[in-house]
Structure 1
Amino acid sequence: MASRLVPNVTSKQGEPQCKEKHVVLLSPVGKLKISGCETGVHEIKLPQMSVLPSGWTEPSAACEVREGAEELTEPLEQCTAWLRAYFCEPARTASLPVPAFHHPLLRRDSFTGQVLWTLLRHVKFGEAVSYKQLADLAGNSRAARAVGGAMRSNPIPILIPCHRVIRSNGQTGNYGGGNLMKEWLLSHEKLQKEKLAY
């Protein structure tokens, strides 16, 4: 795929643009479209799931880069390695580096950025928190609705695990990749965590 120039999301006006690269990773939930540059990952676009993948309780070991392998920058390489491990060997994710991010929501000093970083740092594989609990962790216990907005704005789903944020009543709530995908990701983590406990 051809690269294209986009504004450097961390730059001030007048600084150079970054060269965006694209890669497609085939995963058990479909094709994940990942974009980024030499500085970091810009975005992960999820496919919309209308049905659960066959064999969905046990993800396929097939998780490979389908497009853009020749364009892998270090952050994109780290991102695809992390995602492959997440789907196929979840125990490895803890030892893999999280790629650098290069998106304005994750760089500026905003509540959304603070919530996303809090989620990444504090809610681990196989865990779930409510919107209110995440608001508490981010330092504003009355901002559960704003946390919901931050989850909708998350440019790097799965890696920044917005699927782990659920309603206080235990219902999964909405998700950018669709509710089936959110349920699949939560079930995948629960199953893998149980396996690791043995």
Structure 2
Amino acid sequence: MCEKYTCICLSPIGNLKILYCLNGLHSIQQVENINDESFQPNRSQMVTIESNDKNDSVIVDSCISWLQAYFHDPDKLSLIDQPKLCKFIIDENAFQHRVWLKLYENVKYGNTISYGGLAQLVGSPNAARAVGTAMKCNPFQLLVPCHRVIQGNGNTGRYSGGKRNTVKMWLLKHEKTNI
């Protein structure tokens, strides 16, 4: 359905892989080899393109601008349009997509919500575990801020299936110190 392209960009949390088509983003994630043991953040790293399958892309430019603001100028985030998602991967009736949308709309930079609180926002108060699954399956790291979802007792939970808990803690600290 979509011809997909890949862009790798440098960021303060390591390389990010952006998968996109001409209609919008399909995913943005840290590259696979980043985990709790290998995570070496560099707060001063600017967001720059390392490689891109397609030289000229409004989608990638939008994503890079948004990421640059997220990491280095959060006051501008509200002035920058969030990168466009591909309309062919959005199913507004699917539970996971509703969870991602509620999270994006309601939990802003520097704030957190519990899995149970997000389940309530979605209208399924007993679905905290399903919300956790939605967070684990989130293809839009940072854009749909699953790192802001924590356990009801205040613990961070298992970010990226427990493989990137230090990344989650770094992102939460980054947001708290830049409010």
Does the CA-based 8 Å contact 1:43-1:103 persist in structure 2? Answer: no
Which amino acid is 2:148 matched to? R
Q: Tell me, in whole angstroms, the C-alpha distance in 2 between the residues paired with 1:147 and 1:51.
A: 27
Count of residue pairs the alignment pairs up: 174
> What does 1:53-68 correspond to in 2, within 5 Å?
53=40, 59-68=43-52
Q: Tell me, in whole angstroms, the C-alpha distance in 2 between the residues paired with 1:100 and 1:107.
A: 15
- Residue 53 of structure 1: CA displacement? 2.9
Q: Tell me, in whole angstroms, the C-alpha distance in 2 between the residues paired with 1:156 and 1:44.
A: 5
Using structure 1 for the length normalisation, give the TM-score: 0.81
Sequence identity (%) = 36
Which amino acid is 1:184 matched to? W
Q: Tell me, in whole angstroms, the C-alpha distance in 1 between the residues paired with 2:125 and 2:164.
A: 27
Which amino acid is 2:94 matched to? S
Q: Deviations over 1:84-123 (max 9, x none)?
A: 1111111111110012212766324111110000001110
Match of 1:152 among 132, 136, 145: 136
Match of 2:122 among 138, 160, 182: 138
Does the CA-based 8 Å contact 2:20-2:59 persist in structure 1? Answer: yes
Q: Tell me, in whole angstroms, the C-alpha distance in 1 between the residues paired with 2:141 and 2:99.
A: 13
Cα RMSD (Å): 1.8
Does the CA-based 8 Å contact 2:10-2:45 persist in structure 1? Answer: no
> What does 1:6-155 correspond to in 2, within 5 Å?
17-47=1-31, 48-49=34-35, 50-51=37-38, 53=40, 59-68=43-52, 70-102=54-86, 106-155=90-139
SS of the counterpart of 2:7?
Answer: strand
- Residue 72 of structure 1: CA displacement? 4.3
Using structure 2 for the length normalisation, give the TM-score: 0.90
Structure 2 unaligned blocks of 5 or more: none
Structure 1 unaligned blocks of 5 or more: 1-16, 194-198
Moved more, 62-71 or 73-82: 62-71
Q: Residues 60 and 78 of structure 1: is their aligned pair in 2 closer, same or farther, counting only changes over 3 Å? A: same
Who wins on radius of gyration, i.e. which is larger? 1
Match of 2:176 among 161, 175, 190: 190
Kindly report structure 1 stretches of 4+ aligned residues shifted beyond 6 Å. Answer: none
Q: Tell me, in whole angstroms, the C-alpha distance in 2 between the residues paired with 1:39 and 1:120.
A: 20
Does the CA-based 8 Å contact 1:151-1:162 persist in structure 2? Answer: yes
Q: Deviations over 1:142-173 (max 9, x none)?
A: 11011001001101111100000000011101
Does the CA-based 8 Å contact 1:134-1:144 persist in structure 2? Answer: yes
